[in-house]
Structure 1
């Protein structure tokens, strides 16, 4: 498989194309890097390709906060400006006045 360049960046807020959740990207895999069991658990008619970036998100929906692993094809930029409430975000990121999230200096490379 040939890995493609990531369309989204660490610290960017995104939303899922189909499902009602949004989140903050905290890591990117250049191509699928999860278990085969996880991939096969996705219904075949909506199963994403493996040869694209996959994103680790501090995600949230109306009910809960969690970590999600999402293919690039299923993400859109979130321009709502609404703050995220996932408590894990404040451990690794700071939010600036313009709504942009930056990695805390002690964790940035």
Structure 2
């Protein structure tokens, strides 16, 4: 399998193309990197290809916040500029005045 270049970047807000949720990208896999069990749990008629970027999201819908793993083909850029409420976001990101998110600097000893 040949991995493609990622269309989205860490810190971007995206929404799912089919399901009603949005999220902040905090990591990117160049191609599928989850368990085969997870892969097979997706109904075959909607199962995405493995040879594309997959994104780790601090996700949320109307009811809850969670972490999602989503294929690039199922994501769209969210340009609503509405803030996200996922409580994990402030640990790694800051919101800039423009309404976007940027990663916090990493501290090390």
Question: After TM superposition, is the score higher than 0.5?
Answer: yes
Task: Please list every run of 5 or more consecutive structure 1 residues that lacks an aligned counterpart in the other structure.
Answer: none
Q: Name the TM-score, length of structure 2 as normaliser.
A: 0.97
Query: Helix, strand or coil: the match of 2:59?
Result: strand
SS at match of 1:19: coil
CA deviation after TM superposition for structure 1 residue 97, in Å: 1.1
Q: 1 CA distance for matches of 2:32 and 2:50?
A: 5
Structure 2 counterpart of 1:31: 31
Q: What is the Cα deviation at residue 26 of structure 1?
A: 0.1
Provide the residue aligned with 2:79 in structure 1: 79
Q: How many pairs does the alignment contain?
A: 107
Q: Does residue 56 of structure 1 match 2:50?
A: no
Query: In the alignment, which residue of structure 1 is the partner of 2:94?
Result: 94
Residue aligning to 1:65: 65
Alignment gaps of 5+ in structure 2 = none
TM-score (norm 1): 0.97
Q: Secondary structure at the match of 2:70?
A: strand
Moved over 4 A (4+): none
- State the shift of 1:74 in Å: 0.1
Q: Could you tell me how far 1:10 is from its partner in structure 2?
A: 0.1
Across the aligned residues of Structure 1 and Structure 2, the Cα RMSD in angstroms comes to 0.7
